[in-house]
A and B are shown apart, each in its own frame.
Chain A
Amino acid sequence: MADFEPKIIAFCCDQSGYPSADMAGTLRLNLPKNVEIVRVPCAGRVETLYLLKALEKGADGVILFACYEDNCQYLRGNLRAKGRLSYVHRLMEKIGLEKERIEICYLATNSGVKLAETLQRKSKELKRLGPNPCVDRR
């Protein structure tokens, strides 16, 4: 299990998450190897289904990068995302999946360091949790 490199899908809101990911690159910060960055117009665009589908189809963890509360360009997108996330957590509890696998993280446009740190921490956490049991690896 030593060479297990968890796959993380990071949904990045176009206003804060994506510029932060760019900034993390500009600052030459270490990102975990297996990260897929998904650009979305607003965190509110991320459906419950996407979060679940990500876990179903091979991701070990999902992070949703949204703007801080009251900071959303579309006023309430981040709150909607937060609501959907708690719904997903309830569903995951029911099927016995660790709810730490899906997480929301609030960023500003210039939070490159925070983004990199969050991804690193998440990667470590997921290494401890082990591979996602939902995925059929045969």
Chain B
Amino acid sequence: MARIGIFIDTLKGTLPSSFRDQLRSTLREIPEVAFSTEEEELVSSEALERMSKLLEREKVERVVIVGGSPKIYETSFQKWGLPLPLNPYLFTVANIREQVLWASIDEKEAFEKAKRMILKAIRIASSLKPIESQTLPLKPEVLILGGGLSGLSIALTLAKAGIQVFLVEKEKTLGGKTTELWKFYNKEVEVKGWLEQKISELRQNPRISLLAPAQLKYLRGHLGRFQATVLTGKGEEMTLTPSVIVVATGYGVERKRGGIYDHKRVITLSEMEKLLSETHPPFPLFEGKRVETVTFLLDETNEDIKFDAINAIKQSLILQGSLKCQVTILCKEVKVSSEGMERLYRKARGLGVLFVKYEEPPRLSLVNGQIQVEVKDTSILHKEDQWTISILSDLVVLSEAILPHQELTELSALLKLHLGKRGFLMEDNPQLLRVRSNRRGIFVAGGCRFPQEISETLFEADALAQEVLVLLSKGAYTYDLSVAEVDPKKCALCYTCPRVCPHSAITVEKYAERNVYLTFGIPQNTQWGAAKVDPASCFGCGICVGECPARAITLRHYPDELIYIQMGVDG
């Protein structure tokens, strides 16, 4: 019988004294209880210190806290440190304040309920088992997939911090979609030179091994023990053993085709960027002829991606300003939420760039070798004043549809990552954990997660590099064994748990011991496969536990009996 110490948290007098007296007299009758003591405010650091001393003196094995919500104690333990010398999993909390006192029950019933809850907590406490922590050594090696802007920046930051980086790029050249850009919108610098400087820095860094062209063929293992097979351009297979994998493979584009959209005077934003970079003032030439009017047609497909609007405004400033063209921008919304964009938008308006808001898709037709765009201007509030206007222009500039890369589905299956509804890679939490994926040890950034503007991509690359450094800086990853565990003797190898595990922490491994389900008539020494949970990758949610048909999996910090006791049912 384990000795149990009871701490009654009065929560600054929220627990009335008559109630506490009644409680203590009841507690005296329970044989397991070694002592019960009262604290004014258990979540403070001084109280926790007193608690540690008392635990040491009384040599209790389990602790029951009677007080408020377990969440407040958990946060205070995280903040002030645990009251040693007890294992952190040997605590249990009876939530009297929230579930009894505040749930508006009359006094007599409240006491009965509180008593029942404390008795339950004592039963839970005696059923608890200590959970130790483990350490997984991590060597400073990172594999980065994708040599676009995010891949490059992450590689440089990590290599500066002394980490060995393997950069795998599918193409021969580095830089990805950024190479199509000519100028930044917020700096008077050409992108090409800036990018080339980054690339040469990367090539000179001895800590970065560049594998281009190369492709990831196969991936096994978990955090700290990945085994990646990479197929290089020469057809050789290489096996890398990185601790962490970073996915930064970028996005794909698709141009609208068919009918008038195939006409040579309908070009895309990146073609316009190229045209501008080759143009010499005073005016732009298209196939030898002067271009006087340009219409941008934005937002036909991806409405939530803002860098099309940024590029269009940046280009229109050059066209309208120094190249003396008349520019019209047709869009559904002007997306100027990036830094400094509002100012550029005002500047464009001041220069005479026309902005037209449309809802129905504009009609394009060919008139005397020029493209006529007919569009209903909905920026006017009164419906009767909304006219359909037609604009004749020498060039129509389209924004490309931004799609997930064609190979992303394949890659996500290879890495066992989740895809979002639109086909991009899904982050673990869109607000809080933007660069983590569903698997521990695999991070996502850049266009494969969500296409972004250059400065945002750089921010994200920094954030990701920091996450990786936090993980790798200690040289080891320490985790509690509060995870799921498979009993290999019960496992029938049905492959349910590897399928349902949201974090892909379960794989089928060879065990030396025989499997009782499959041994009929088969020699005993044969090795058998059974599911195995990788403790470093497991998040401890218990989905596999609930799903296992053979009930071979247990959640170490949440076993069946703990739930049965809470339910008030004997298993």
Contacts and interface: CB of A to CB of B under 8 A. Distances in A.
A54 to B, nearest CB: 6
Nearest to B70: A39
Contact of B541 (A22, A29, A74): A74
B546 A22 contact: no
B103 A44 contact: no
A55 to B, nearest CB: 10
Given A25-B102, A31-B103, A80-B543, A45 B555 contact: yes
A29 B102 CA distance: 8
Interface in B527-546: 539-543, 545-546
B433 to A, nearest CB: 10
B566 interface: yes
Contact of B567 (A18, A50, A74): A50
Interface string B316-333: 000000000000000000
Contacts of A73: 429, 541
B196 interface: no
A45 B429 CA distance: 20
B2 interface: no
A84 to B, nearest CB: 7
The residue among B98, B99, B438, B567 with the most chain A CB atoms within 10 A of its own CB is: B567
A41 B98 contact: no
Contacts of B97: 25
Nearest to B565: A38
Nearest to B428: A75
Contacts of A19: 71
A124 interface: no
Contact of B104 (A28, A38, A48, A80): A28
B503 interface: yes
Nearest to B500: A80
Interface in A29-58: 29-31, 33, 36-42, 44-48, 50, 53-54, 57-58
A40 B567 contact: no
Given A18-B71, A21-B99, A80 B555 contact: no
B369 to A, nearest CB: 51
B98 A21 contact: yes
Contacts of B407: none
Contacts of B429: 73
15 contacts: A22-B98, A26-B102, A28-B104, A30-B103, A38-B563, A40-B558, A41-B540, A45-B555, A50-B567, A53-B571, A54-B567, A54-B569, A74-B503, A75-B502, A80-B500
Interface of B: 69-71, 95, 97-99, 101-105, 109, 418, 429, 438, 500, 502-503, 539-543, 545-547, 555, 557-558, 563-564, 566-571
